Amino acid sequence: MGKFLLSLIIAVIAVHIIILLGALGYGWATERFDDEKLEQYVATWQGVELVEKLEVTEQQETEETPTDAIARIAEMEIKSETLRRNLFRQLEVLQNMKMTVEMAREKLTKESGDLQAQKNEFFAAVEQYENRVFEAGFQKVLKNYSSLKPKLVKNDFMQMEEEQVVRYLMAMKSDTATKILNTFKKPEEEAKRQRILRLMETHNSVANSM
């Protein structure tokens, strides 16, 4: 029985050895094993833990030569000068734009003032024309009222505002105006005549105080 167990153990060990050798042979044949992996497999088989090798890459600083330093400084000065010139050009453009805007605003202000002056002159001319036309019409109507019978004039005056009636009466000869006012006999006519007389007295008082 003891010999059988010993033979069985030896057979198992032999099988493991054959499997390991086959795996190693396959790895070498397919180039899947390098020295580092082989070392790891052997260590694992032996129960030893390997410490991972760290590759230390040394960074070597390249020393700048005087020629390189001069070239770098010259390049920086060229860039600085180019930037300064660009800024000056942009500043000049902005100044020119500002001057153009100021000139345009001054011109617009002047033109606006001229336009307002022309507008005022136009309205003044229109007003003068209307006044002349109105005065001409007024004088024509005044002449007609002065030649009509007082009762006919009274009928028109009863339809007018008191201020307008007063203007006509004050522009007439006094005796003509008196004859017209004397035709206001009915109660409503007498009431209007009193209002007209009060307005005429007010206008005379203002004219005398000036």
User: How far is residue 186's CA from residue 29's CA, in Å, rounded to a whole number?
Assistant: 147
Q: Which of 121, 120, 168 is nearest to 148 (CA)?
A: 168
Band of pLDDT at residue 122, cut at 50, 70 and 90:
confident
Answer with the residue of higher pLDDT: 2 or 207: 207
Angstrom CA distances, 173 to 9, 134, 179, 188, stand at: 163, 20, 10, 25
* Lowest mean per-residue pLDDT among 37-41, 133-137, 171-175: 37-41
| pLDDT higher than threshold 80 for residue 3 | no
* Lowest mean per-residue pLDDT among 64-73, 140-149, 156-165: 64-73
Please give the average per-residue pLDDT across 114-139, as a whole number. 86
pLDDT per residue as tens digits for the range 62-113: 677 888 888 888 888 898 888 888 888 888 888 888 888 888 888 888 888 8
* Average confidence score pLDDT of the chain: 80
DSSP-derived secondary structure for 51-110:
PPPPPPPP-PPPPPPHHHHHHHHHHHHHHHHHHHHHHHHHHHHHHHHHHHHHHHHHHHHH
pLDDT per residue as tens digits for the range 50-68: 555 445 445 455 677 888 8
pTM summary value: 0.44
Residue 43's pLDDT is 61
Residue 88's pLDDT is 82
User: How far is residue 105's CA from residue 112's CA, in Å, rounded to a whole number?
Assistant: 10
Percent of the chain surpassing pLDDT 90: 31
Band of pLDDT at residue 185, cut at 50, 70 and 90:
very high
Answer with the residue of higher pLDDT: 141 or 3: 141
User: How far is residue 109's CA from residue 118's CA, in Å, rounded to a whole number?
Assistant: 14
* Residue the block writes with tokens 């054959």: 18
Domain spans of the chain, in order of start: 149-209
Q: Which of 171, 156, 160 is nearest to 203 (CA)?
A: 171
Beta carbons of 142 and 173 less than 8 angstroms apart: no
Residue type, 174: S
Please give the average per-residue pLDDT across 132-159, as a whole number. 92
Burial label, 138 (beta-carbon count in 10 A; 0-12, 13-18, 19+): middle
